Amino acid sequence: MSAARGGVGPATLLVGISNPATVEELVRLSAKLAEAGHWKILLTHVVTVANQISLTTGRSSTEVVRARDLLQEVLSRAEATGMDVGALVEVARSVDEGLLAAADSHHAEMILVGYSEAETEADDGGTEERFDRTMHRVARKGTTDTVVAKFRREGMGRILVPVAADAPLQVTGLLCRALGRAAETSLTFLHVVESGASMDEARRRIEGRLEERGVASIGPLIVVASQDPVEAIVETAAEYDLMIVGPSRRPGLMKAIFSSRAQKIAEEAPTSVLLVWNRAVGAG
């Protein structure tokens, strides 16, 4: 993945803004990505319109006015820090359709969205599930890389990156390079092998993959043996602020997404998680 299309100007990082609980962390994360990859940030809020109402009518609704006010406030704070940032209110029938339309029209190369567990405190417990379904549709249908941030802890000082033997590291590597630049950040790679497997051989294989992606020098690699990789990763993650969980493959059917190891890790981890999907099938 290149940070710019054809070398003509900066590529666009589309940042979905909806709930105030995620805004600060999302903007901070997008700023780190932009600094490392020369992205132009586009803050985007999607206003959904019911089928019986025309999109033209929806564009003059009070919801759109409130969305513009929210984005303007976020935009002003971001610009004050020197960020190259724009803002967009997209009107659509659904959130996923709006994000995809905005990404397509602005030639975005990555979509970044966030979820905070604080949103469920007065909820029926289904908010995160609905959010997940929406983002799975975005990842499955879109032509951009997609990063879903689930915020459970403040800060990004201690970062854990589980690395599978055959998992794509394209976007994961970009995130590691961007977040690992900060002096206050420590990044650790983790690889889990089955009990009885050669740990030395596994270490050599994973070190080679990290070298290929240019991230081996960012942090140490820990290799552990376990019959349950998910449990081992989740237990280790308790000592960290943030975990980057990459894909084993491009999202396909909804069933495959929900049953994936990455999804299970993201659901069970006690730490904040960046759940990554690559747009390119087989991208290493």
Pairing of the two strands 145-151 and 108-116: parallel
- In this structure, are 114 and 138 located in the same domain? yes
The CATH code of the domain that includes 104 is: 3.40.50.620
- In this structure, are 114 and 16 located in the same domain? yes
Q: Which of 103, 123, 151 is the last residue of a domain?
A: 151
- In this structure, are 261 and 229 located in the same domain? yes
pLDDT tens per residue, range 157-184: 999 999 988 777 888 999 999 999 888 8
**Is residue 214 a part of any domain in this protein?**
yes
**Mean of pLDDT values over 220-230:** 94
Q: What is the mean pLDDT of the chain?
A: 85
Question: Residue 124's pLDDT band (boundaries 50, 70, 90)?
Answer: low
> What is the Cα gyration radius of the chain?
19
- The pLDDT score that the predictor gives to residue 283 is 44
CA–CA distance, 214 with 155 (Å, rounded to integer): 25
**Is residue 283 a part of any domain in this protein?**
no
Pairing of the two strands 145-151 and 272-277: antiparallel
**Mean of pLDDT values over 198-224:** 94
CA–CA distance, 14 with 43 (Å, rounded to integer): 6
Question: Residue 211's pLDDT band (boundaries 50, 70, 90)?
Answer: very high
- In this structure, are 114 and 163 located in the same domain? no
SS3 of 100-147: HHHHHHCCEEEEEEEEEHHHHCCCCCCHHHHHHHHHHHHHHHCCCEEE
**Is residue 220 a part of any domain in this protein?**
yes
- In this structure, are 22 and 146 located in the same domain? yes
**Is residue 86 a part of any domain in this protein?**
yes
- In this structure, are 144 and 200 located in the same domain? no
Give residue 189's domain range: 158-272
Q: Which of 151, 174, 199 is the last residue of a domain?
A: 151
- Residue 279: pLDDT over 80: no
- In this structure, are 187 and 102 located in the same domain? no
- In this structure, are 237 and 114 located in the same domain? no
**Is residue 266 a part of any domain in this protein?**
yes
Q: Which of 100, 131, 151 is the last residue of a domain?
A: 151
**Is residue 279 a part of any domain in this protein?**
no
**Mean of pLDDT values over 194-199:** 88
**Is residue 75 a part of any domain in this protein?**
yes
Question: Residue 89's pLDDT band (boundaries 50, 70, 90)?
Answer: very high
Structural domains in the chain (count): 2
pTM value? 0.86
**Is residue 1 a part of any domain in this protein?**
no
- In this structure, are 147 and 162 located in the same domain? no
